[in-house]
Structure 1
Amino acid sequence: MEARAADFVHYTVTDFERAVSFYRDTIGLTLESEDAEMGWAEFALPTTTLTLGRANPQVPVTPGGGGVSIALSVDDVEAAVEEFREAGMTVLMDAIETGVCDMAMVGDPDDNPILLHRRHDGTCGRTNPFP
């Protein structure tokens, strides 16, 4: 596996609407997309993206001390997960497919979460780092 870029940094939040308001209105980040029903928001944070998400059983990260994960772009999420399994590392979430990407979550040696991510359009990192 070779990580190509950091696609985004993610915070799991307990109050989605309050968090969106804070990052948009208090911090002044540009809200690029929001899916309130799903509990997902994306903010421009050159040269990456900050995402917020409502606590979700599919993404086993909790707010606070363990609530941050980095998403690393990889060419093949399932193959990367298998490499982690073969190395005896923890797989926190098996690969799933969404409408725009494939992703899985693995743990580093201290079980800090790392999201393995591949966009369907083949891009990685911020596609427009200076909105």
Structure 2
Amino acid sequence: MIKSIAFFVYPITDMARSRKFYEDTLGLKLDTNFGDKWIEYDIAGGTFAITNMEFGHQPGAKGGAIAFEVDDLDKTVAQLKQKQVPFILDPMETPVCHMAVVADPDGNSVTIHKRKS
């Protein structure tokens, strides 16, 4: 049966704009580029991908969501606000974490997350 998650993927509309957001704004490092149609980022042994290939999925806030774990939530939030990234959910605390949710250029939700110790 299922052994692991192979990848998470977000549909996007503009590859250059999305790569700038994920690489320059969020600091992800490019792992694999399949013809500028499917881009993969390795994150701690997992794969996050963006694609502008047609799979019948629509970019935007009503789709899936991913959470990226960060070392310092306050510092990351300040950097994102400085870069004028739109916030869907301002920083908040739950019993197990601190988090905020931003939007990528297509409106996909990206959670910035810090687990409590």
Q: TM-score, normalised by structure 1?
A: 0.44
TM-score (norm 2): 0.49
